[in-house]
Structures are given as C-alpha cells and as structure tokens.
Amino acid sequence: MKKLFILSFVLFLFSVLFKPNLTAQDTGTITSKYDFVPGEKVIFYDDFTSENIGDFPLQWNTTGSGEVVTTTLTEGRWFYITNAKGITTLDSFVDLPENYTIEFDVIPHKDTKNNNSNFNFYLLSTSKPKDLMYGVARPGDAGVKFSFEYNNYYKAYYNDKGKTPDLSGREEQPKIQNDNKYRISVWAQKERIRLYIGEEKVFDLPKAMSKDFKYNMIRFDGGTPMISNIRIATGIPDMRNKLLTEGKLVSYGIYFDVNKDVVKPESYPTIKEIATILKENSALKIKIVGYTDSDGDDKSNLELSKRRAVSVKNILVKDFGIDAARIETDGKGEGDPVAPNDSAVNKALNRRVEFIKL
C-alpha cells in the first residue's frame, strides 16, 4: 500500500511539472468568460504602419517625446513614449457619444530613471483639447484615470466645485509586468465604465462617468510604454437583427494578428453571440466571408481572407457545437472595400468578417 501511494504521488507530481502549456493558438480553440463587445463604427484607429520609424506619429501630440519603433518583443509598429514626465494625447479631440469602446495594445517598458514600468491612461472631458497641460493634476474638466502599476488603480473625478466626490479604488490582480504585451479594453456606457486587461475584467464602475460632461480625449502619462492598435468605436452591434432580419452582419469584433489566420481570444464574445443566434435558429445557414485591407499583394490577401473565414468556422464548430454543414466560407481579400485604403481608420474598416444569411 505504501509503495502504491508513493507511485501515485510520483505520477501526480510528474503530471503537474510536465503538463503542457496549451494556448488558444496551440489548440485552435478559445474559451473565456470575457464579455467585452467592441463598438461597431470605428471613429479612430492607429497602428502606425504608415509612419516612418523614428518619427513622432502624426495623429498625436506631447509635451515630452516619443517615436515610432519596431521591437523584437512582438510584431508591428509601436509608438514608444520616451519621456515619463511628458503628457501624450491625441492631436484632435474625438466626438464620443454615450456608448463607445476604446482598445489598445501596450507593452509596459521600464523607465530607467524611475526603474519601473508604471503608466497612466486617462479618458477625459476637456474644453481645451489642444492644451495638454490643462489641469495637470486633474486633467480636463472631468475624467477617469487608470494607473497600471504593480497593482492597478482607478480614480474618477469631476471638476464641479465639490458637488460630486471623487471615486477611487485599487485592484491587486492582475499585475502589469515589464516588456509583456497586453490588450487594454475600455467599455463606456453612459455613467458606467469597465476596464479589461486581456480577458480579465479588472474594474466595473457603475457611476464613474459624469452625465454633465462630454468625454472627448485620451491621454497617457507617468511612464514610457509602447502602444499600438488603438481603436475607438461607437455603438454596440445589434448582431441578431442584422443577421436574421437584414441578412448580413459586418463584424469588426473578430481579431487576428497581422498576416495570420489564428482567431485571437478577444474575439470570443462576438463569436459566442453568432453561435447563440445559430443555436436558437436551427434552420439558419450562413456564409462567412473574410476581408483584408490593401496592404500586401492581392494573391496573398485573398488566400489569407479565405483562411481567416475557415478559422472562424472552426471555432463555431469545435467550441460551440454548430453543425459544419450549416456554414460555408469564402474570402474576398482586398476586394469590395467599404472605404478607400488611404488611412488607418479606413483600412480598419476594410479588415472585417461578414456573416451572410443563406
């Protein structure tokens, strides 16, 4: 009996120590409780692909310094904020309605002077969008500040002569680590704001946004991060109505890395909603069509778009149990653009997945 116990313990220990680290890319599947749904209409996008390496990006402004870079840590081009004491904002305000989403990729990078990877992100209401220094301690007329440190901190404030108290709080997990890539997602709905790091909902604040102010600016300060793929979009898509009634759903909530066909985990809520519609309407059949922007050659884009459509189908079949016979796939590459491929925003509009009722 003692020998049997020792053998069982050894086998258990071996299984723990040598258990393979399976990821979404390894298995081709995605599982998540992530409930973030990106906005439907893209109103701002910047991935810095049209910028020259070493230049300061055209759509931004700063009191400090920064440049567009590449990094061995990951693919793509990144805006590297190089002065932790500087203030970095959009060059022009964005007209945000009551409901919208903000997403960006970030690589926290150690500020050699302060020896840490901290940085702050603000969503502001400002009557002076060109004045970067307007309200240095409490920027703008109202705002929500998220600080990414060894733990995560938020502060919401309104400059209304003390009528509304500041809100603040701290979340110990998850921690932001130096030179790791993270997806930050913000979902604002009237007074409510939610913040996610990757697939983890970190804050869900029902009364952090003021009804008396119009939010119109984003800001970074307090660190030297690298940021990219900044996407601001409005409107929550009515996927059910568009697919069942109108017969076509154009989705911007399904994500892939550049030139790859692996579905990223943040696509889960969108694909889950598609699966729910298919399960509730057993006779419904669809065609999934992938599209790209015009970067790269036509043949490669066409092949990539077809593979991406197949990847989405595979998720619906493997993860959600949808009958493969109900789904056709196709890809049009850079064909049938919905906007000219002449800006980062328009290219983002052309990179899409369409679901067509058959």
Confidence of residue 161 (pLDDT cuts 50, 70, 90): low
41-78 exposure pattern, b = at least 16 Cβ within 10 A, e = fewer:
ebbbbbbbebbeeeebbebbbbebebbbeebeeeebbb
pLDDT tier for residue 160 given thresholds of 50, 70 and 90: low
β partners of residue 189? 99, 192
Tokens of 322: 């949808």
Q: What is the pLDDT of residue 17?
A: 38
27-31 long-range contacts, CB within 8 A, separation 24+ = 28/262, 28/311, 28/314, 28/315, 28/318, 29/315, 29/318, 29/319, 30/263, 30/265, 30/267, 30/268, 30/271, 30/315, 30/319, 31/268, 31/319
Computed over its alpha carbons, how large is the radius of gyration of the chain?
22
Given a cut of 60, whether residue 99 has pLDDT beyond it is: yes
Q: H or E element: which one contains 9?
A: helix 2-17
Q: Which two tokens stand for residue 62?
A: 């700063």
Q: Specify whether the CB–CB gap between 270 and 311 falls below 8 A.
A: no
Q: What is the pLDDT of residue 25?
A: 37
What's the mean pLDDT in 185-193? 94
Residue 151: pLDDT over 70: no
Query: CB neighbours of 112 closer than 8 A, spacing ≥ 6?
Result: none
- What type of residue is 329? T
What is the set of domains in the chain, with CATH numbers? 41-234 (2.60.120.560), 239-357 (3.30.1330.60)
pLDDT score of 164 more than 80: no
Joined together, the tokens standing for residue 79 give 């805006």
Cα 74–Cα 348–Cα 193 angle in degrees, nearest 5: 80
pLDDT of residue 24: 35
Label each residue of 310-343 as H, E or C. Answer: HHHHHHHHHHHCCCHHHEEEEEEECCCCCCCCCC
Residue 311 binned pLDDT confidence (cut-offs 50, 70, 90): very high
51 close to 192: Cβ distance less than 8 angstroms: no
For residue range 15-47, what is the model confidence (pLDDT) as tens digits? 333 333 333 333 344 445 678 889 988 999 999
Q: Is the pLDDT of residue 321 over 80?
A: yes
324-333 pLDDT, tens digit each:
999 999 999 9
User: Burial of 166 by CB count in 10 Å (0-12 exposed, 13-18 middle, 19+ buried)?
Assistant: exposed
Higher-confidence residue: 3 or 133? 133
How far apart, in whole angstroms, are the C-alpha atoms of residue 267 and residue 310?
15
Q: Which of 57, 139, 108 is nearest to 224 (CA)?
A: 108
pLDDT at residue 162, rounded to an integer: 53
